[in-house]
Amino acid sequence: MTVSPQHQMDTTPRQLLVVDSPTARGAIVALLLFVGILIIYLVTQAEVVFSTQISLILGYLIGIPILLSNNYHRSILLMFVFASVAGLLKYKTGFNPIIHVTVDIMMGVICVGWFIRRFFVPPVQKTSTPLAILIFIFAFICTIQIFHPNGYSYFASVGALKMHIYMIPLYFFGYHYLTSVRQIRQWIWTFALIGIVMGSVSIYQFQMGPEAIKEEMPEYAYMIDLNTWQDETGKSYFRPMSTTSNPGGASTWMQCLIPLMMAVCFMRTFSVGLRIILGLVLVFLIVTLSISLIRQMFMVTCGSV
């Protein structure tokens, strides 16, 4: 895979946050480990407002500087890892509104750091982005809908913009960040691991059955009851939640990961051994999809792949 000169990324260090002292770096790593363990402990405790607030405050204080750094791989990894368990955390915290938007905030912070570094930290890059004008026109059309006379309210209209334009910065960031096959190789294992973890939880929940999962995770009881059915023998089945907040929530991840895994399996830049391993992961993801997705959407997904 070759990269056109217009799409070359300047590899000159362009940092917002710099820590050169090995001692300081070690202290920061130790602090992060301590805070991470503390957050995990607090989130898994009996749900009280105090523990949830402390977890969020500590998480944001430590997380925002990390996400603003120029280590994009680490930042994106943290975002995807959190997103894969965000649904579970929503239930555990009684659908705390901050946790509900944390993934969006993480993505926004990453893009803001990239934007500042790209346009304000020398040397300033001037490479263009395809379709930028059309995308800006689309964003403008969506934005002026705030003033639509038949809208519910200005507040609701502003909130609705998230569904239409909030992902646009991710397009610009992704275009200028992903420039080589090496990065695809680096990310494919991250996505494979996330898929395996979510798939394993889905299969475990599916095998245990709805009643057993309701005993283990009473927060899911209502949603499980709404998505439980029985076969002709009277055995109960349900669409497993996995680590998400929705029945069959893992299917959304599988729909994104399966085409990517399948594409990599045909890339000759990967060794035969790696493609065989990813092929086995692909089969596992398809199994997860089959028990998580409703039949109609399963056929649509197969057709699109």
Write down the pLDDT at residue 11.
45
> What are the distances in angstroms from CA 168 to CA 73, 161, 165, 183, 298?
19, 11, 5, 21, 28
Map residue 35 onto helix, strand or coil.
helix
Q: Is the peptide bond before 65 cis (omega within 30 degrees of 0)?
A: no
For the beta carbon of residue 300, count every other beta carbon within 10 angstroms. 13
Beta bridge partners of 230: 236
Domain locations in the chain as residue ranges: 10-126, 128-179, 181-304
The Cα–Cα gap between 156 and 296 comes to 32
Write down the pLDDT at residue 295.
54
Two tokens at 217?
Answer: 């995770």
Write down the pLDDT at residue 9.
47
Write down the pLDDT at residue 192.
92
Q: Which amino acid is at 244?
A: T
Residue found under tokens 């809208």: 151
Write down the pLDDT at residue 49.
47
- Cβ neighbors of 93 (< 8 A, separation 6 or more) are 43, 47, 52, 99
> What are the distances in angstroms from CA 14 to CA 71, 113, 122, 177, 232?
10, 10, 7, 13, 63
Write down the pLDDT at residue 39.
64
Residue found under tokens 């709805």: 210
Q: Residue 38: which of 24, 49, 23, 52 has the closest Cα?
A: 52
Give, for all 305 residues of the chain, the pLDDT tens digit.
444 444 444 444 455 555 556 676 676 667 667 766 766 666 565 555 455 666 677 777 778 888 888 888 888 888 888 888 888 888 777 777 778 788 888 888 888 888 888 887 777 677 788 998 999 999 898 888 888 888 777 777 777 787 788 788 888 988 888 888 788 777 888 899 999 999 999 999 988 888 888 888 887 888 888 888 777 777 788 888 888 888 888 888 998 898 888 888 888 777 888 888 989 999 999 889 888 876 545 555 555 55
Decide if 203 contacts 291 (C-beta within 8 A). Answer: yes
